[in-house]
DNA sequence: GATGAATGAGTGTTCATTCAT
DNA sequence: TATGAATGAACACTCATTCAT
């Protein structure tokens, strides 16, 4: 019981803090500049510890990036599961899910940018992260349940694939964060403007509901 | 007429070919690996000429990237203007525009990936490319005209901002290319599959029309 | 007292040696070929360490050059202050200073060549080295004190500006090192020849004394 | 007489102008940046002709530099011989020579900087330029004649070597141009200031005369 | 004589990673 | 655990020079 290196020891707690601190900094850097653009030296400098610790805890740049990616996915899935949309009526549930999804993207641009970056790298790193794949099924299951209930109640039309619904919701939410900079330059619209954001949120809710609802 | 060194001389034509060849290769590399990930040496190697020529014609890596970016935008705008959607009835015109937009993204993943990369870099390079901004207004004008006609005919509901419409169309088309790799890993769906593509194309057309049409 | 990693640790001492070794080699190379002509690769090769270390310790070629320049100036000023000319009689003091100045230039051609090179570069680098300017005032103060004492004793004529005196001394000493090669070619005289050197040293002492002494 | 390529033809005159124009530009560039720092591309750009012509007329960078060096020496020797100092009384002649030498350096910093640069390169290029060596003897002969006359008249002391006299004059004149930038930084004196220049000119005349004159 | 296009060898610099203490 | 020192492979970029017309 008196081990100095047990799970609850002071040492291991400090170690966990160091790890978390590195992950925090690395997430910011990778999200900001991408995997190829981020610099290990710069990450280390912004950390409370040193470059050596990055290698000690994570092994290398790519492994650190994967740990960051995994944590980012964990967080969005945890949030999605925390909300209890199933208790709501189908239309209200979907409205809440779309709004929540839009908000999450908006408030977590690091997540969006990490996913963009991962696609730039042809998804080669996410493929090496165990445990991301499985967690995603619950989102689909959740949407499937709501769709079923809505169809049964006659408020949604049948034949909507829950994966397609998720794709539509994500696409509309994602774009408003991912393409912020080029859109601002090309059309002079600032996706980050609060007034615009509120308006766009409602538009997306309407577009998704309109597509799913029975006529 | 007998100029030996005019704009159409053999030499200058070869030079233009060299330039185009470099741009072709560079576009592929930048689209494939991003600005930070692409290597000048590798681009040069895949070229019919040499690394030195890249600097001769473009000045540096960033300038080459900007030239590639500019050309990619030129191409999509040229295609958009080539199609004569205005002669169609509003609903048919919109259906054609959405389908065309979806197809263009699908068939030009380099464009999508360049835009992704540009957003990764916070749009700092597109801001330095003169002549992209202006060209985009015609897309909005085109959509605006169709919306007006549709509202006048009572087939579209009033109050739709053509920029928002463009955002919705682009978001849905963009995502199916930009997030191809992470989506495949997370949900097992291959956006590039021809059968999926056809299904998704129609879904997007329906979603957009459903959002715009009067009820 | 039992610190294992203080300023005097073995590691940090080795690091200081590495730094000094790089400075030594770089001084020789920059003095030999100038800033533009010296090659980082060649400097690194002649070093006990590597090219990478040059960047680790100095940041770049220009910064290394500036560090070399600063050290060269530090050394000449330290030598000037070490000698205690003020205790001598004015004429003897001036004779000693001129001789010492001539000898220093002669025995430190790297210093002369670095200064030449710096003038080739319009003094742009010395302007960025903090701490050189201040140190020079002591030379002028020293000459001023000797001049004042000599004037008071009636052995020097009044009205000599110590800065002008320093200019005259330096000019005569500098030229015999700086213009060694062109002079040898143009007039067949080898400034480095020991017999010539001794003769020239005395000439310069005489010329300076003759200019300063009362008649 | 009617040859189209004779020495006086229009073609050859244009060729000579092209050559001179290249030499003018090259002298400015080499004087400004040194041999290693000057760029063939930049020289060509500032020329009325092209890079190809530099190679056509001079063969390469080093040969161009040597041609520039040769012309610079030709000019100073021509000026020295143009002035008829021998007709003056010894003291006046020497005074005139020193003043003239000082002025020439002052008004021709390109010459001073080319000589500096040549010494940076250990005089390896001047050694390859035929015809510079010989021309220098006349300067020494001129000084020797004046010294002899002065000694005979009892105004100069005997035993002064004309080469040493030339060295002293040159050293004092050279320094005020060559070390302009470092001196300004180190002591805050601007050698190029007109008031300073006039004062310094007289000082140098006095110092040289004082050294040579009998007491 | 004249021009733009092309080239290979080099030149300063940066990167992720490992070592010694 | 922790730190500064060290490394080699790669990277973007430049230069004097030559070729084809």
pLDDT digit string, tens, across residues D86-115: 789 999 999 999 999 999 999 999 999 999
Q: Is the CB of B38 under 7 A from strand F?
A: yes
Q: Using a CB-CB distance cutoff of 8 angstroms, which residues of chain C are in contact with residue D113?
A: 120
Tokens 């970016």 correspond to B69
Using a 7 Å cut-off to protein CB atoms, list the covered nucleotides of chain F. Answer: 1-21
Substitution target from C31, C142, C177, C178 for chain D, most D beta carbons within 10 A: C178
Q: C213 has which bridge partners?
A: C156
Distance F1 C1' – A51 CA (angstroms): 13
pLDDT at A4 exceeding the cut of 70: no
Distance E13 C1' – C24 CA (angstroms): 22
Contact state of B179 with A170 under an 8 Å Cβ cutoff: yes
Contact state of C119 with D180 under an 8 Å Cβ cutoff: yes
User: From D135, which residue of chain C is nearest by alpha-carbon distance?
Assistant: C186
**Which residue segments constitute the domains of chain D, with CATH numbers given?**
1-59 (1.10.10.60), 69-212 (1.10.357.10)
E7 C1' closest Cα residue: B52
Q: Give the least confident one: B192-196, C21-25, C110-114, D211-215.
A: D211-215
> Which residues 134-153 on B are within 7 A of strand E at the CB atom?
none
What letter does residue A156 receive in the DSSP assignment? B
Q: How large is the average pLDDT for residues A50-65?
A: 94
Contact state of C207 with D207 under an 8 Å Cβ cutoff: yes
Q: Which two tokens stand for residue D154?
A: 């009892």
Distance E8 C1' – D182 CA (angstroms): 39
Confidence of residue C10 (pLDDT cuts 50, 70, 90): low
| Buried-state track D107-128, b at ≥16 Cβ within 10 A, e below 16 | ebbbbbbbbbbbbbbebebbbe
Q: How large is the average pLDDT for residues D66-83?
A: 89
Q: Which two tokens stand for residue C35?
A: 């800033």
Distance E15 C1' – A40 CA (angstroms): 9
Please give the nucleotide, over all strands, whose C1' is closest to the CA of residue D61: F16
Burial label for B87, CB within 10 Å (0-12, 13-18, 19+), is exposed
The CA distance from D168 to D103, in Å, is 15
Tokens 């300076």 correspond to C208
Q: Specify the 3-state DSSP secondary structure of B213.
A: strand
Contact state of B120 with A113 under an 8 Å Cβ cutoff: yes
pLDDT at A172 exceeding the cut of 80: yes
In sequence order, what are the residues at sequence separation of 6 or more whose Cβ sits closer than 8 angstroms to the Cβ of residue B91? B150, B155, B209, B213
Substitution target from A110, A120, A160 for chain B, most B beta carbons within 10 A: A120
Question: How far, rounded to the nearest angstrom, does the alpha carbon of residue C34 sit from its chain's CA centroid?
Answer: 16
The CA distance from D180 to C171, in Å, is 11
Q: Using a CB-CB distance cutoff of 8 angstroms, which residues of chain A are in contact with residue B203?
A: 164, 168, 211
Q: Which two tokens stand for residue D162?
A: 């004309």
Q: Which two tokens stand for residue D82?
A: 């143009």
CA angle C207, C208, C210 (to 5 degrees): 65
Question: How far, rounded to the nearest angstrom, does the alpha carbon of residue C131 sit from its chain's CA centroid?
Answer: 15
> Which residues 43-82 on C are within 7 A of strand E at the CB atom?
51-52, 55, 59-62
Distance E12 C1' – C37 CA (angstroms): 13
What letter does residue A2 receive in the DSSP assignment? -
Give backbone dihedrals phi and psi of D213, rounded to 5 degrees, phi first: -70, 150
> Which residues 138-177 on A are within 7 A of strand F at the CB atom?
none
F15 C1' closest Cα residue: D39
Minimum distance, in Å, between the CA of residue A51 and any CA atom of chain B: 22
Burial label for A28, CB within 10 Å (0-12, 13-18, 19+), is middle
Angle between helix C162-178 and C180-187 (nearest 10): 60
Residues D135 and D73 sit within 8 Å (Cβ to Cβ)? yes
Distance E20 C1' – C184 CA (angstroms): 52
The CA distance from A94 to A212, in Å, is 10
Question: Are A and B close enough to touch, i.e. 3+ CB pairs under 8 angstroms?
Answer: yes
- C29, C22, C20, C23: which is closest to C117 by C-alpha? C29
What is the number of other CB atoms lying within 10 angstroms of the CB of residue D34? 24
pLDDT at A6 exceeding the cut of 50: no
In sequence order, what are the residues at sequence separation of 6 or more whose Cβ sits closer than 8 angstroms to the Cβ of residue A202? none
pLDDT at C8: 57
Using a 7 Å cut-off to protein CB atoms, list the covered nucleotides of chain E. Answer: 1-9, 11-21
Contact state of C33 with D37 under an 8 Å Cβ cutoff: no
Q: Which two tokens stand for residue A87?
A: 């208790």
The CA distance from C128 to C111, in Å, is 18
Confidence of residue D152 (pLDDT cuts 50, 70, 90): very high
Nearest to A119 among B122, B123, B180 (CB): B180
- pLDDT digit string (tens) for A12-44? 777 788 899 999 999 999 999 999 999 999 999
pLDDT at C3: 37
Q: A213 has which bridge partners?
A: A156
Handedness of CA C22, C26, C27, C32 (dihedral sign): positive
Q: Specify the 3-state DSSP secondary structure of C156.
A: strand
More confident position, D2 or C172: C172
Confidence of residue C31 (pLDDT cuts 50, 70, 90): very high
Please state, for a pLDDT cut of 70, what percent of chain C lies above it.
Answer: 94
The CA distance from B33 to B43, in Å, is 11
Q: Is the CB of B122 under 7 A from strand E?
A: no
The residues of chain B scoring below 70 in pLDDT are 1-11, 134
> Which residues 49-78 on D are within 7 A of strand F at the CB atom?
51-52, 55, 60-62
Question: Are C and A close enough to touch, i.e. 3+ CB pairs under 8 angstroms?
Answer: no
Minimum distance, in Å, between the CA of residue A149 and any CA atom of chain B: 21
The CA distance from A140 to A160, in Å, is 12
pLDDT at B5: 42
pLDDT at D179 exceeding the cut of 60: yes
In sequence order, what are the residues at sequence separation of 6 or more whose Cβ sits closer than 8 angstroms to the Cβ of residue A76? A104, A108, A111
Substitution target from B35, B198, B210 for chain A, most A beta carbons within 10 A: B210
Phi-psi region of B59 (alpha: psi -120 to 50; beta: other; left: phi over 0): left
User: From D215, which residue of chain C is nearest by alpha-carbon distance?
Assistant: C215
Distance F12 C1' – B61 CA (angstroms): 8
Substitution target from A40, A200, A207, A215 for chain B, most B beta carbons within 10 A: A207
Angle between helix C109-120 and C162-178 (nearest 10): 100
For A33, A65, A68, the CA distances from A72, given in Å and listed in that order, are: 16, 11, 6
pLDDT at C131 exceeding the cut of 90: no
pLDDT at B133: 72
Q: Specify the 3-state DSSP secondary structure of A190.
A: coil
User: Taking all residues of chain D, what is their mean pLDDT, rounded to a whole number?
Assistant: 91
- pLDDT digit string (tens) for D21-48? 999 999 999 999 999 999 999 999 999 9
Please give the nucleotide, over all strands, whose C1' is closest to the CA of residue C52: F7
| Buried-state track A108-130, b at ≥16 Cβ within 10 A, e below 16 | bbbbbbbbbbbbbbebebbbebe
For chain A, which chains pass the contact test of at least 3 CB pairs under 8 Å? B
Q: Is the CB of B62 under 7 A from strand F?
A: yes
Distance E12 C1' – C6 CA (angstroms): 34
Tokens 């300004």 correspond to D184
Confidence of residue A11 (pLDDT cuts 50, 70, 90): low
- C82, C80, C84, C86: which is closest to C100 by C-alpha? C80
Give backbone dihedrals phi and psi of B156, rounded to 5 degrees, phi first: -115, 150
pLDDT at A8: 56
Q: Is the CB of A39 under 7 A from strand E?
A: yes
User: Taking all residues of chain A, what is their mean pLDDT, rounded to a whole number?
Assistant: 91
The CA distance from B62 to B66, in Å, is 6
Contact state of C133 with D186 under an 8 Å Cβ cutoff: yes
pLDDT at D131 exceeding the cut of 80: no
The CA distance from B69 to B132, in Å, is 9
Q: Which two tokens stand for residue B5?
A: 């060194």
Q: How large is the average pLDDT for residues A183-193?
A: 96
Alpha helix (H) residue ranges in chain A: 10-37, 40-46, 51-58, 61-82, 90-107, 109-120, 132-153, 162-178, 180-187, 194-212
Q: Is the CB of D37 under 7 A from strand F?
A: no
The CA distance from A21 to A17, in Å, is 6
Q: pTM score, two decimals?
A: 0.90
- A85, A78, A113, A117: which is closest to A99 by C-alpha? A85
For B189, D103, D149, D153, the CA distances from D93, given in Å and listed in that order, are: 99, 15, 10, 13
In sequence order, what are the residues at sequence separation of 6 or more whose Cβ sits closer than 8 angstroms to the Cβ of residue B42? B29
F13 C1' closest Cα residue: B60
Q: Is the CB of D15 under 7 A from strand E?
A: yes
Distance F14 C1' – A32 CA (angstroms): 31
């Amino acid at each position: 019981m008196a081990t100095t290196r047990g799970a609850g020891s002071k040492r291991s707690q400090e170690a966990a803090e160091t790890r978390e601190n590195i992950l925090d900094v690395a997430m910011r850097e990778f999200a900001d500049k991408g995997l190829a653009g981020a610099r290990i030296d710069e990450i280390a400098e912004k950390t409370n510890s040193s470059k050596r610790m990055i290698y000690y805890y994570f092994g290398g740049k790519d492994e650190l990036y994967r740990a960051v990616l995994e944590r980012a996915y964990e967080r969005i899935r945890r949030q999605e599961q925390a909300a209890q949309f199933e208790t709501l009526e189908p239309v209200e549930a979907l409205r809440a899910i779309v709004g929540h999804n839009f908000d999450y993207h908006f408030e977590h641009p690091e997540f969006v940018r990490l996913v963009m970056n991962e696609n730039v790298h042809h998804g080669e790193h996410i493929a090496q992260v165990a445990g991301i794949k499985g967690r995603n099924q619950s989102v689909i299951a959740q949407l499937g349940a709501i769709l079923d209930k809505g169809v049964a109640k006659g408020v949604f039309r049948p034949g909507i694939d829950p994966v397609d619904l998720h794709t539509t919701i994500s696409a509309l939410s994602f774009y408003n964060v991912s393409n912020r900079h080029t859109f601002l330059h090309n059309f002079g619209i600032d996706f980050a403007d609060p007034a615009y954001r509120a308006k766009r949120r409602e538009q997306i809710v309407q577009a998704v509901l309109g597509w799913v609802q029975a006529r």
